[in-house]
Amino acid sequence: MIGSAVLLLLIVVAVAAPWIVPYRFDEMSILNRLKPPSLRNWLGTDEFGRDVFSRTLIGARLSLLMGFAATAVSLAIGVPLGLWAGYRRGRVDEIVMRSTDVLLSFPPIMLGLLLLAVTPPSLWKMIVAVGIVYVPSTVRLTRSVTLDLAGEEFVQAARARGERTSYILHAEILPNAWPPIMVEASLRVTFAILLGAALSFIGLGAQPPSSDWGLMIAEARPLIDRAPWVAIAPGIAMGITVIAVNLLGDGLREALDPRMHRKGG
């Protein structure tokens, strides 16, 4: 409950940010550099005199966008592959599973690093890279759910009716496979936000003058002696966002996972 309320608020703020912030996120003011928080700049200003409060709010958009878009990418690639591998079995399954083995033997951030090292960095490339990082786990989960469902009677019935494979996957298996996939995906969102921020922090994600939180913290790092607020504001914002999404994920799991009900009741 708290999670969804905070997240809703965050989404509203993120969507409305350009209209509610007191300053533009890239509006510089050379006379106002590294000012501590005040009535004029609620969270102070950074080294270019940009308003930290405005930048942090705008950053919420990027962060949420990154989390949800990267998760969407991993679902868009992973779910069809998982369905296909789990239903067709045999060689297709073998090839898909061995590929996920290879991808899973990198620590996530390494895979992100490698994918991003190929081209000049940008926010969109990072979203795709983070999405790809989480494709293997999506594939595995979808496959295992599909394997279970493929043995169910309603699937066998559909097969006996002579339905096409694409119909069975789409209309019979997928609707029943969604709940566990969604629970997993809600956890992925926070991992994606954190991984994306780490990549931006290293310099392989969003580029200046973007107000991505990871990038903001990286830019504030050399100045933490004189202006710690520039680094602290986006850090706390990220903490709140991740906790809200996590709480939402926990709620989702309780609502959708029948095993949790049995344990609780």
Which one-letter DSSP state was computed for residue 169? I
Binding residues for other proteins, rule: CB under 8 A, are: 101-102, 105-110, 113-115, 117-120, 190, 194, 197-198, 201-202, 214, 217-218, 220-221, 224-225, 228, 231-232, 235-236, 238-239, 242-243, 246
Task: Using the minimum distance from each CB to other proteins, give the nearer residue, 113 or 256.
Answer: 113
Whole-number Å distance between alpha carbons of 201 and 13: 23
Nearest approach in angstroms of CB 30 to other proteins is: 25
d(CA 119, CA 50): 29
The smaller minimum CB distance to other proteins, of residues 157 and 236, is found at 236
Q: What is the DSSP letter of 51?
A: B
For residue 225, the one-letter residue type is D
Q: How far is the CB of 52 from other proteins (least distance, A)?
A: 15
CB 111 within 8 Å of CB 132? yes
For residue 88, count other CB atoms closer than 10 A to its CB: 15
Minimum gap (Å) between residue 231 Cβ and other proteins: 5
Shortest Cβ 7–other proteins spacing (Å): 13
8 A C-beta contact, residue 10 and residue 51: no
Nearer to other proteins, 238 or 252 (CB): 238
Nearer to other proteins, 69 or 198 (CB): 198
Nearer residue to other proteins within complex by CB, 31 or 102: 102
**Which is nearer to other proteins, 57 or 198 (by Cβ)?**
198
Q: Look at the chain and count its residues.
A: 265
Closest approach of other proteins to the CB of residue 247, in Å: 9
Closest separation in Å from C-beta 99 to other proteins: 9
Side-chain half-sphere exposure of 232, counting CA atoms within 13 A: 11
Nearer to other proteins, 155 or 227 (CB): 227
Residues in contact with 237: Cβ distance below 8 Å, sequence separation at least 6, in sequence order: 56, 59, 60, 63, 213
* Shortest distance in whole angstroms from residue 33 CB to other proteins: 19
Q: Measure CA 61 to chain center.
A: 12
Query: In the chain, which ranges are E strands?
Result: none
DSSP 92-146: HHHHHHHHHHHHHTS-HHHHHHHHHHTS---HHHHHHHHHHHTHHHHHHHHHHHH
